[in-house]
């Protein structure tokens, strides 16, 4: 099984407006934390995230979170 690249060893914290976002699961995107299609040819697919209301989110930057797109603190183990 292929391991994702670590984009950064901390979460991407940002304010988001309602909408659909695609979180990069492979760690290769140049548009972190969002997918730019760099996963093509790998076993990774982006994670679709639906934001219903304006809010602050913490997207996983290490790509190893057990909470998929959202940070769960796993980056502290690297």
pLDDT (0 to 100) of residue 1: 82
45 in a domain, yes or no? yes
**Residue 74: burial class (beta carbons within 10 Å; 0-12, 13-18, 19+):** middle
Phi then psi for residue 49, to 5 deg, are -125, 125
Answer yes or no: is 7 within a domain: no
Range of the domain at 40: 12-77
**Contact, 37 vs 58, CB < 8 A?**
no
**Rounded to an integer, what distance in angstroms lies between the CA atom of residue 10 and that of residue 27?**
13
On the question of a cis peptide bond just before residue 33, with omega within 30 degrees of 0, the verdict is yes
pLDDT digits (tens, 9 = 90+) for 20-74: 999 999 999 999 999 999 999 999 999 999 999 999 999 999 999 999 999 999 9
* DSSP H or E stretch at residue 43: none
Residue 2 lies in a domain: no
Domain count, the chain: 1
* pTM across the whole model: 0.94
Confidence of residue 3 (pLDDT cuts 50, 70, 90): very high
Q: Is residue 57 part of a domain?
A: yes
């Amino acid at each position: 099984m292929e391991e994702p690249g670590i984009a950064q060893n901390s979460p991407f914290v940002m304010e988001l407006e309602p909408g659909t976002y695609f979180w990069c699961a492979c760690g290769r995107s140049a548009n972190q934390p969002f997918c730019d299609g760099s996963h093509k040819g790998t076993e990774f697919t982006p994670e679709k995230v639906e934001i219903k209301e304006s809010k602050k989110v913490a997207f996983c930057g290490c790509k190893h979170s057990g909470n998929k797109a959202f940070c769960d603190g796993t980056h502290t183990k690297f």
